């Protein structure tokens, strides 16, 4: 039986309160459902009314004390001293139905750890159907908000105040709110969001002088946003005649395709749009100026950029228009001659190299083995041979070299590309990354050495590998959190795959647009 069935007295108080409020024209949708949002009336060794332990949390890790000697306001502090366990407090469960929209918020202050607010939907058995979360590590009080629609199977809703298991520290909470809101209400979280320590800040910052024209507009992704509407204007009040509005932006970054007037001050703001088409409030307005010597760097429309990629092969570093000139460089320039001689010699020996077995899985029995992980060197050695042979074939047209490149490409393409394959990004991205970009190069350089059946097999494999890399970058998301060596490498490698397979793999255009 769910907890709210065990607290009829509290329910009686709540329902009577709602009845009285209704007499004054105040609706359920406007009211805080939590009976004790401020953790009042704590009894030493017990939880305050309206709250219960979350999971196996020991009450010893929870304190309910005045904020200070001069401020009697009660706050909850979770004393998290473990980097392997998390602790939390759950509100009462409240009846909920699928399709109803709920919003939760709470003030969080970090003393070293990470505080999380869960908006939690459960079924008749008390099992989670879905949840929506937002975190904060701000050392000052920060109000975080999350909104979500109850999914099918929901019978109750609650909130959880939680300290993340991987972080150690004290997390304080205050002024918790849970409300049922109108379906016409914006369903996302606050649009003005604090920036994480490993993330990009809003740009241009208020008062900035930018050195590219136009600047790229960057903002913090908004929970619940399906798209964004950006406005930039020479009018601080965004007068329509002086304002440029861009709708349906799907990332938290946008670069205009035209330069801006650098003699004026510019202002920008944005709003988010949820999946129901409801628009959020606008962010704060930020003003910027453009340096008189700013580099002009508009981003052309992406369809125009894609149209510049040749339909024929090769496409990477060398194009059909530049191929003959490229082939002639070793005869004309000493440095190219030295480089080419080394590549050519290697390609001769690689023709007779033995094809390796697929690298071992580095999670045998579900446990990571570092020595097996290091066997990604099998992959890097194999892809290096494949790439070298393909390049030598492009330079010479030698059919034996082309056949050797084909043999290596098809062999590596036979390795399991699925999410649990030994060379997938999920299992070992040091294996997946060289396959992603070196197979792309080999494919476009040795295109003529492959039959259409060969090409189709390679395209099927690279579609899986490219989509995996793309989804990892999107989930990060890279445009907000770019400070990661593996993510930064994957972005470039996915770009090469997008160019090599454009118009041949359906998703390649989407990869290309994201990378650009």
Find the range with the poorest average confidence among 66-75, 323-332, 349-358: 66-75
* pLDDT for residue 243: 98
* pLDDT for residue 500: 98
Q: Does residue 27 register a pLDDT over 80?
A: no
The more confidently predicted of residues 495 and 149 is 495
* pLDDT for residue 177: 95
* pLDDT for residue 15: 42
**Residue 9 banded pLDDT, cuts 50, 70, 90:** very low
**Residue 30 banded pLDDT, cuts 50, 70, 90:** low
3-state secondary structure of 322: coil
Q: Does residue 17 register a pLDDT over 60?
A: no
Average pLDDT, the chain: 90
* pLDDT for residue 10: 42
What phi and psi, each to the nearest 5 degrees, are found at residue 466? Answer: -65, -40
Find the range with the poorest average confidence among 87-91, 236-240, 423-427: 87-91
* pLDDT for residue 255: 96
The more confidently predicted of residues 246 and 166 is 246
Alpha-carbon distance of 145 to 178, in angstroms, equals 10
* pLDDT for residue 69: 81
Q: Does residue 24 register a pLDDT over 60?
A: no
Q: How many helices (H) and strands (E) in the chain?
A: 11, 18
* pLDDT for residue 42: 64
* pLDDT for residue 195: 82
3-state secondary structure string, 384-430?
HHHHHHHHHHHHHCCHHHHHHHHHHHHHHHCCCCCCCCCCCHHHHHH
pLDDT digits (tens, 9 = 90+) for 279-315: 999 999 999 999 999 999 999 999 999 999 999 999 9
Of 166, 160, 181, nearest to 106 by C-alpha is 160
Find the range with the poorest average confidence among 21-25, 233-237, 274-278: 21-25
For the segment 255-273, the average pLDDT, to the nearest whole number, is 97
**Residue 224 banded pLDDT, cuts 50, 70, 90:** confident
3-state secondary structure of 453: helix
Q: Order of strands, edge to edge, in the sheet holding 243-249?
A: 208-213, 286-296, 266-273, 227-233, 243-249
Q: How far apart are the first and last CA of the chain?
A: 53
> 29, 179 in Cβ contact below 8 A?
yes
pTM above 0.85, yes or no: no
3-state secondary structure of 157: strand
The b/e string for 190-206 (b: 16+ C-beta within 10 A; e otherwise) is: bbebeeeeebbebbbee
Q: Does residue 166 register a pLDDT over 90?
A: no
Other C-beta atoms lying within 10 Å of the C-beta of residue 134: 22
């Amino acid at each position: 039986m769910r907890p709210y069935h065990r607290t009829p007295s509290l329910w009686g108080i709540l329902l009577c309160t709602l009845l009285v409020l209704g007499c004054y024209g105040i609706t359920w949708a406007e009211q805080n459902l939590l009976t004790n949002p401020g953790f009042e009336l704590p009894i030493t060794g017990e939880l305050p009314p309206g709250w219960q332990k979350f999971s196996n949390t020991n009450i010893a890790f929870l304190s309910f004390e005045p904020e200070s000697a001069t401020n009697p306001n009660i706050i909850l502090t979770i004393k998290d001293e473990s980097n392997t366990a998390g602790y939390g407090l759950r509100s009462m469960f409240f009846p909920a139905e699928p399709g109803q929209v709920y919003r939760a918020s709470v003030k969080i202050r970090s003393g070293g750890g990470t505080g999380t607010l869960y908006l939690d939907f459960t079924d008749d058995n008390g099992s989670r159907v879905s949840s929506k979360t937002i975190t904060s590590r701000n050392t000052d009080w920060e109000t975080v908000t999350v909104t979500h629609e109850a999914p099918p199977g929901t019978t109750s809703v609650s909130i959880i105040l939680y300290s993340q298991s991987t972080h150690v520290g004290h997390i304080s909470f205050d002024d918790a709110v849970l409300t049922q809101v109108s379906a016409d209400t914006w369903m996302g979280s606050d649009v003005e969001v604090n920036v994480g320590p490993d993330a990009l800040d809003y740009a241009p910052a208020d008062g900035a002088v930018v050195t590219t024209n136009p600047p790229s507009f960057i903002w913090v992704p908004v929970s619940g946003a399906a798209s964004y509407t950006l406005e930039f204007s020479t009018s601080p009040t965004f007068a329509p005649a002086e304002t440029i509005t861009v709708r349906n932006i799907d990332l938290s970054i946008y670069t205009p395709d035209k330069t801006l007037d650098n003699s004026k001050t510019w202002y920008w703001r944005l709003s988010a749009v949820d999946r129901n088409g409801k628009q959020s409030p606008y962010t704060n307005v930020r003003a910027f100026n453009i340096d008189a010597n700013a580099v002009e760097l508009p981003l052309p429309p992406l369809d125009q950029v894609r149209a510049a990629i040749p339909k024929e092969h090769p496409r990477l570093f060398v194009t059909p228009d530049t191929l003959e000139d490229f082939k002639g460089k070793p005869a004309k320039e000493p440095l190219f001659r030295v480089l080419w001689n080394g590549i050519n010699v290697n390609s001769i020996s690689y023709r007779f190299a033995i094809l390796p077995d697929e690298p071992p899985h580095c999670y045998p029995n579900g446990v990571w083995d570092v020595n097996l992980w290091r066997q990604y060197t099998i992959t890097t050695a194999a892809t290096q041979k494949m790439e070298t042979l393909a390049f030598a074939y492009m330079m010479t047209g030698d059919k034996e070299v082309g056949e050797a490149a084909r043999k290596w490409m098809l062999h590596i393409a036979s390795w399991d590309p699925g999410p649990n394959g030994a060379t997938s990004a999920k299992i070992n991205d040091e294996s997946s990354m060289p396959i992603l970009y070196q197979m792309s190069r080999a494919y476009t350089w040795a295109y003529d050495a492959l039959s259409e059946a060969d090409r189709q097999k390679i395209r099927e494999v690279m579609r899986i590998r490219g989509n995996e890399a793309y989804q990892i970058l999107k989930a990060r998301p890279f445009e907000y959190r770019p400070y990661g060596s593996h993510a930064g490498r994957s972005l470039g490698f996915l770009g090469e795959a997008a160019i090599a397979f454009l118009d041949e793999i359906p998703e390649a255009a989407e990869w290309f647009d994201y990378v650009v």
